[in-house]
Amino acid sequence: MPSTPDRPDDSDDFAVAEATDVARETVSVEVQRDTEAVAPERPKEQRTVVVDDKVLANRETVRLPTQRRPPQRPQRRAPLPVAAAFATLWAALLSYLPVAAVIGLARTLEGSGGLGGAAHAGLAGWLLGHGVPIGTSIGSLGLPPLLLSMLVVWRLNRAGLHVTRAVGARRSGSTARALAVAFAIGLGYSLLGSVSALLVDGRGTEVTAGRAALNFFLIGGLGALIGSLRGTDALSVWAGRLPGPVRHGLRTGVVAALLVLAAGAAVTGLSVAVGGGQAADMISAYRTGVAGQAGITLVSLAYGVNGVIWAAAYLLGPGFALGTGSVIRLTEVTAGPLPTLPLLAGLPNGPMGASGALVLALPVLAGLAAGWLLHLRLARESAPPWSLVIGSGLVAGPAAGLMLGLLAKVSGGPLGDGRLATIGPDPWAVGLVATLVLGVSAVLGAAAGKLFRPTPKA
C-alpha cells in the first residue's frame, strides 16, 4: 500500500499537527414538538338484557316446513291363543308333509298310489316319530325314527320363538310368559295328536288317543319351551342366577356328550362305509324296484340318528341290544337274525381285540377335550381358582350322563312282539358309565389345562 512520505524532523507543520488536536464544536439543537395529552379510552357501556320466558315469547319466530310423519300407532300384539294355534298348525304341517310326500311317492312308483292311502301312512309315520306306538298285525311298532323327531322338535322350537315375538314378550326376561307360551303350544299340539290318532286308528293300525295326546303334549311343550326361553331371554336370566360351578359344569357336560355323539357318528359312518358291499346286497335283496330300494334307503337314513346313539353306547361300554337276548358290546357280540337294513351292515362281527382299548379311549379323549375347553373358557376372564375348575368338572359328569341316558331311552323301542321286542341300549347303564367316565376325564382335562397353561409374558 502507498504510505505517507517521511517528512524531515524539522518540519513545523507535521509537529504542530501531531501536537494539537482538532477541536470540533458541537451545538445542541433543541427541537420542539407539539404534543397532546391522550386521555385513555373509556370502555363503552354494554347493555345487558335479561332473557326470560316473557322475552322469548315476544320474539318473532319462523316455522320451517318439515315432512309430516304419520302418528305412531301402538304395536298391536296378537292374543296368545291365536298366535299359539297358528304357529302350532304351521309346525305340525311342516313336519308332516315330508313324511307324507316320501311315502306317497314310493306308493305311486309301486303302482299302489292313492292320496288317501299316502296320507294315512304318512300320518302313522308322523305319530311314530313322536314315540307313539302303533299296533299292527306283527305287534307293536314303537321304535321312533329320531331324524323325524329332530325335525319335529326344531319346528316346535321355532314356533315357541315366533309366538314369543307375536305376543310382545321378546327379551322380557319373564319366565312366566315363556311357560305360558310353551303350555299353549303344548296344549294345541296335544289336540292335534289325539285327532291324528283317531284318524289312524281302525285301518289295520291301532293307536291309543290318550297316549298320543300325552306324547304330543310333552314333546310340544318341551320343544316350544326351548324357543320361548330363548325368545324372552329367560334362559340367560336363569344362567346368571346359577352358581359358577353349576353353570360352567352344565355347559361342559353338554359339550362332552356332544363330542361322544360325534365320535359315535364317525364310527357309524366308517363301519357302514367299510361294509358298503354288504349294504348294497341288502338293498338289492328287496325285489321292489327302484322305488322300494329308495324307500329302504330313506328308512335307514331316518334311523341313522338312532344308530349314532347306539354307537355312542357301544363306545362307552354298555353296548346295545338288537332283539331279546342279544348283546352287542366291545367284549361280546350275540345277535340272531336281523332285519335286512343297510344301516345294520356296519355291525361288528365279533368282540374287539386289542383295538378295543383304542375304541374305549374315545370317550376318555372326549371328556379330556371338554375339560380343557372348560379351562380355556374360564381363563379368558381371570385365573380361575381350583374350586371352580374342579367343581365345574364334577358337575359335568352327571350332566353328560343325564343327557346320554335320556337319548339312549328315546332311541330304543319294539319292532313287533317277537324277538325284536327289545331294541336299543340300556339307558341306566349308559347314563351311569357316562357320568363316571366323562366326569373324571373332564376334571383331569381342566386340571391339566390349569397346570400346564402357558405363563403370560411380562
Domain identity same for 361 and 439: yes
Same domain for 215 and 311, yes or no, is no
CA distance 28 to 125: 133
For residues 278 and 290, membership in a common domain is answered with yes
For 283-301, write each residue's pLDDT tens digit. Answer: 666 665 666 666 677 878 8
| Residues in a beta bridge with 139 | 136
Q: pLDDT per residue over 15-35, tens digit each?
A: 444 444 444 445 455 545 555
* Residue 41 belongs to some domain of the structure: no
- Whether residue 380 is found in the same domain as residue 400: yes
Domain contains 320? yes
Asked whether residue 257 falls in the same domain as residue 224, the answer is: no
How far does Cα 225 stand from its chain's mean position? 15
Residue 300 sits in the same domain as residue 388:
yes
130 and 83 fall within a common domain: yes
Alpha helix locations (H) across 329-426?
355-379, 386-410
> Range of 211's domain?
77-241
Residue 7 belongs to a domain: no
Q: Select from 163, 151, 148, 156 the least CA-distant residue to 223.
A: 156
In a domain, 347, yes or no: yes
- Beta-bridged to residue 423, according to DSSP, are 322
How many whole angstroms separate alpha carbon 405 and alpha carbon 432?
8
In tens digits, the chain (458 residues) has pLDDT values of 444 444 444 444 444 444 444 444 454 555 455 555 555 555 555 566 555 566 555 666 666 666 666 555 556 688 899 999 999 999 999 999 988 888 777 666 666 666 777 788 889 999 999 999 998 888 888 899 999 999 999 999 999 999 999 998 888 888 999 999 999 999 999 999 999 999 998 867 889 999 999 999 999 999 999 999 999 988 888 888 888 889 999 999 999 999 999 999 998 888 878 766 666 666 666 665 666 666 677 878 889 899 999 999 999 989 899 888 888 888 888 877 777 777 777 788 777 766 667 788 899 999 999 999 998 888 887 778 888 889 999 999 999 999 999 999 999 998 888 788 889 999 999 999 999 999 999 999 999 988 887 544 44
Grid cell in block for residue 205: 293300525
| Of 225, 241, 257, the domain-final residue | 241
The rounded distance, in Å, linking the Cα atoms of 396 and 413 is: 28
**Residue 231 shares a structural domain with residue 246:** no
Residues 306 and 327 in one domain: yes
Domain-embedded: residue 12:
no
Is the same domain home to 310 and 294?
A: yes
Report yes or no on 3 lying in a domain.
no
**End-of-domain residue from the set 241, 269, 286:** 241
22 in any annotated domain = no
Question: Both 214 and 274 in a single domain?
Answer: no
**Calpha distance 127→159 (Å, rounded):** 19
Residue 109, classified by CB atoms within 10 Å of its CB into exposed (0-12), middle (13-18) or buried (19+), is middle
Asked whether the beta carbons of 406 and 308 are under 8 A apart, the reply is no
Q: Does an H or E element contain 82, and which?
A: helix 80-109
Neighbours of 333 (CB within 10 A): 16
How many domains does the chain contain in total?
A: 2
Grid coordinates belonging to 244: 359358577
What is the predicted pLDDT for the residue at 383? 78
The per-residue pLDDT for range 218-232, each reduced to its tens digit, is 999 999 999 999 999
Residue 206, helix vs strand vs coil:
strand
